[in-house]
A and B are shown apart, each in its own frame.
Chain A
């Protein structure tokens, strides 16, 4: 409990200055590091011919899509030819086409769902040029969109910004410097960073073992910082080379929490600034408008964490019945060096902040313990990766405003803008997409032989495996319940599509909403206006999420984890 409290406290302390830094970057304000970064950025703009003109939302979205499309094609090409003897000391062969499709979609969408195993399927060239590269660009794409989105809501500007400028600034000013510091910290704890060939050593028992090598630390840090989640090795952060000890575990947890938490702070400041009259008052730590969002996010996070901890601590009655002591909790599939607490925390964080890396096997969590990461991804509002959670939360905020606004006899408005038919339509679409992808692909999987063949553990658990896989894809999380034989054409194609639609459709809709609100006339705020920074609104927002988002998935959660849990503990 001490470790968990420590991490949460450090998290809360870190996101405020970092959020403030993001706010300065998003609004183009002066920071202490400008003299250094301005030169680099200027060179990049010159080299790539970026004119810093303002973009309409359509142009912004199109630039984002085209940039991503180019990266996808280059990445796919590299995966298909990675067998060349360049940075390939282990002689890895090229990746097969459907797996390449899945992998490339997975990484360009920041999902990092892995149907391959890093040690055996990727050369160092592939790891660096495709995986690490995309971990930077996909995270930066996400944050750029989030910044554009917040700009639209902040009401101060008349343009969403320039995608290329945002992308560049986030990489050079946030992701790169933060990653360099983090990677060095990881290296200091023993995470490898080299280009040497795998070593074969003789163990104490006298058997031989391959020891995997490679540029692990550099991948490991951006994997978490950019809420990517794809491991260098197949077993992800459970392996000692990716995550050797408690300290690295805490660094990794904090790294994935840092930016998604900070962007909410940045949101609060960007939106708050509009109301800051006379410029006298200093911007508060957490902007008034960000408070309900962050409180709801934290509440959902703590509820999930508590349930997961409780469920894992309770142990597994079947193992107990065959004489295995469960006093330590359900340790099946967990690393001894992390124990229940650090495993449950990692599991909750990696799905709430939609990173998708794992430090224990989610498949072996107790049914309810496993339902926590599942529900986190279904909600997709608990911080979420790279601003996704924030943007989804704002969509639910719009819904809550709509209902609450009517209840006080005003036509609804959020952040000083009227919510009318068009915004409602877009918001509704943004909210429908997520369950549509998860539920329809899951239904397809259990109804077709291609899908059912992948399920290794039929019954309630098998259903959870399927739903988990698609929730992870749609939420661009990427963690696997594993236990699913997923490197088949069916799974590669369906999850590929789920990731693609889950990412880009949502982004385009969210940009459209932001732009639509931006164009609206600012309405007056009086004491008769619905306040969206109060405790009452926080409760309303929480309930809207519970009723609309959670109840959508209630039947399938009942049939999966809940039925399994009740069967286990009958």
Chain B
């Protein structure tokens, strides 16, 4: 599942199961779900009958039986090809589900009872809130949160990423997923999901395609295909009496052949394969989409709400410098800054400690009785309260200023300049205070991820607006926003601001996508049309989102949007191709149908196909062969390059529209050249 690893579309195992699947799907009960191909199957049954009893609908000439048998055979192949396309697309998901199921089976859990006793139970007996202990080499039985211990966990069963990740309590790395393996040490975990609702359960049903529902766009497209089928059925059914009025007695197999050629079998056969493959592409990007609808909505995204931290810049902002205000020594600032950060397990906090140690070369006492004050989005500061009443705080400059002012403190004159300097460099200033005194500023450096600038430019090209959300002050936010090239930003953003932005954008009729991981992101994730939660995030966030990124890489939202677009483009292009094919098929079959009785109509035989039988069979064979030929395209998706909609439309219309008209002319002629001599040998 590693995205960099090149995978062939079909391996031997998938091929075998797909072949089996294409026969199983011949069951009319199943076929009815795909009306276009179902019509082909009915045609097949009729011609099959006519192969046994050629004169069922009146006397016929001697060649009819052979002709009927050939038509029957081609129709059978057509249905098989369509089924095969779907089976292949399902294949990969099935294989993956198999291995996941194997993992799930017989999983044991060491549950810790209230009386602190341990007991081995089956994993499917675990309920929300249970405590389990997982030791090195054991599987984590179900989703949960680490409450004690630190261990490295191999998540390859879920993410495909073989490098183990460290899990510990608190912060970003507390959430663990069932089915992953602890490779060192031990973890005490609180279970967060009930049986059958775990991430593994969801994933199995998703990759298996069991919970696949038709998306709104698929339903609309299906309506179009069914309507085209009905129109052409009207044409064919009425053609029989109309033709017989002018003296042309049409053979039933020929009418069925014409029907099958005209109805959109190509897209009808590939439609579900395109949908499944689209979901699969998302999965291969290590993103689990909860529904096809979400993937589809990606194509329509107008606005992306992106967190600055983690998405646009590397999340772990590193302390780079300590800048004390006038009258404070650097050592004092460092000492207080480090003191406030020792219990802070955020990357920033750790980096402050590291830098402090490096710069002063001394260790700081940890034996003070302190209470750690955690950072919250509301207070936008963290720190410690020491036993003796000293309160050390570090945080956003305006938050600290307000805090200090509230206590009647004094704001140093040079503070503003230091803060502004750091901000204008794109850094984050972290102001440190001790009680009512401001000591100085920590310069947290933040770097923009490589390649993002070009990416945002591409997004602008296709009309997607990007909004950066950050807790930073407006100046810092503006600097980063400009550097990254996002369209707009919200500085000092609180979770409720995010929801407001989403609602505002939606009120303008825009489709909004966002990523998030924290519990306080959950409402915004639910409000957004496309919400992607990080796998490392809290379960509330995962619950609210309609996609989960297993790699916890927020940048991936950009890829997912492109996959959504690609899915729709593939669907549209193949529909266009399928419909455009009808022009050539008409010119192959119509003259062939009437030529024998009305020789003048030979003038319409512009492809100069050799005989009536050969013309009809060539068109029919082309119609069947084009399905497997297009399977790779349906699975991979058509090439997508972000560009202006007009340009993209012209490009795709030329390839799939114009190409769809020309290709069958060439294809049918070539097939005719091959089969004409064979038909002569067998006497047709």
- Measured CB to CB, the residues of A under 8 A from B are 399, 402-412, 416, 419-421, 423-425, 428-429, 431-432, 435-436, 439-440, 442-444, 446-447, 452, 459-460, 462-463, 467, 521-524, 526-531, 534, 536-537, 539-540, 543, 547-548, 551-552, 554-556, 558-559, 562-563, 566-567, 570
Contact = CB atoms under 8 A, between A and B. Distances in A.
Nearest to B508: A524
Interface stretch (B37-45, B447-455, B582-590, B614-622): B582-590
B234 interface: yes
Contact of A530 (B510, B511, B583, B649): B649
B226 to A, nearest CB: 8
A487 B586 CA distance: 36
A405 B572 contact: yes
A429 to B, nearest CB: 8
Contacts of A536: 646, 649-650, 653
Contacts of B648: 407-409
A532 B579 CA distance: 21
B579 A408 contact: no
5 contacts: A403-B575, A424-B220, A428-B224, A529-B463, A552-B232
A459 B245 CA distance: 7
Q: What 4 A-B pairs have minimum CB-CB distances, sorted nearest first?
A: A406-B572, A528-B463, A409-B565, A428-B227
A528 B299 CA distance: 10
B246 A460 contact: yes
Contacts of A404: 572, 649, 653
Interface stretch (B114-122, B473-481, B597-605): B597-605
A521 B510 CA distance: 10
Given A521-B509, A527-B644, A566-B601, A439 B238 contact: yes
A555 B463 contact: no
A458 to B, nearest CB: 8
A405 B463 CA distance: 14
A526 B509 CA distance: 11
A389 B421 CA distance: 67
A316 B611 CA distance: 32
A559 B604 contact: no
A405 B648 CA distance: 11
B652 interface: yes
Contacts of A447: 241, 245
Given A558-B590, A558-B601, A551 B652 contact: no
B606 interface: no
B242 A559 contact: yes
B644 A420 contact: no
B199 interface: no
Contacts of A408: 569, 572, 645, 648-649, 652
Contacts of B508: 524
A431 B568 contact: no
Given A421-B220, A528-B645, A436 B242 contact: no
A566 B600 CA distance: 6
B300 interface: yes
Contact of A439 (B235, B299, B657): B235
Contacts of A439: 234-235, 238, 242
Given A405-B572, A555-B239, A523 B509 contact: yes
Contacts of B510: 523-524
Q: Which of B227, B511, B590, B640 has the most chain A CB atoms closer than 10 A to its own CB? A: B227
Contact of A410 (B300, B580, B582, B590): B300
A420 B657 CA distance: 23
B649 A411 contact: no
Contacts of A523: 509-511
B242 A406 contact: no
Given A405-B572, A411-B216, A547 B242 contact: no
Nearest to A409: B565
B572 A531 contact: no
Given A420-B216, A423-B220, A523-B510, 7 more contacts: A403-B576, A408-B649, A410-B645, A435-B235, A522-B509, A540-B649, A555-B243
Q: B-side binding surface: helix, strand, loop or mixed? A: helix
B302 interface: yes
A436 to B, nearest CB: 5
Q: Which of B299, B465, B510, B644 has the most chain A CB atoms closer than 10 A to its own CB? A: B299
Interface in B187-239: 216-217, 219-221, 223-224, 226-228, 230-232, 234-235, 237-239
B573 interface: yes
Nearest to A419: B220
Nearest to A462: B245
B579 A547 contact: yes
Contact of A528 (B462, B564, B573, B579): B462
B582 A547 contact: yes
Contacts of B461: 527
Contacts of B650: 536
A566 B590 CA distance: 15
B242 to A, nearest CB: 6
B464 A528 contact: yes
A454 B31 CA distance: 45
Given A527-B462, A527-B644, A536-B653, A420 B234 contact: no
B241 to A, nearest CB: 4
A408 B579 CA distance: 17
A567 B645 contact: no
B590 A554 contact: yes
A549 B144 CA distance: 59
A478 B234 CA distance: 24
Contacts of B582: 547, 551
Given A409-B564, A411-B299, A529-B645, A446 B241 contact: yes
Contact of A563 (B217, B571, B594): B594
B653 A407 contact: yes
A331 B4 CA distance: 75
B322 interface: no
A459 B246 CA distance: 5
Contact of A526 (B228, B230, B463, B572): B463
A431 B227 contact: yes
B200 to A, nearest CB: 32
A436 B235 CA distance: 8
Contacts of B564: 409
Given A403-B572, A528-B464, A442 B238 contact: yes
A50 B461 CA distance: 53
B231 A431 contact: yes
A528 B302 contact: yes
Contacts of B228: 548
B446 interface: no
B81 interface: no
B245 A446 contact: yes
A570 B599 CA distance: 10
A443 B242 CA distance: 5
Nearest to B459: A528
Contacts of B245: 446-447, 452, 462-463
A420 to B, nearest CB: 5
A420 B222 CA distance: 11
Contacts of A424: 220-221, 223-224, 227
Given A416-B509, A524-B510, A566-B600, A463 B575 contact: no
Contacts of A431: 227, 231
A406 B569 contact: yes
B266 to A, nearest CB: 14
B246 A559 contact: yes
Contact of A407 (B226, B234, B297, B652): B652
Contacts of B216: 411, 420-421
B486 to A, nearest CB: 16
B351 interface: no
Contacts of B296: 411
B104 interface: no
A457 to B, nearest CB: 12
A37 B582 CA distance: 53
A554 B586 contact: yes
A548 B564 CA distance: 28
Contact of A463 (B246, B567, B572): B246
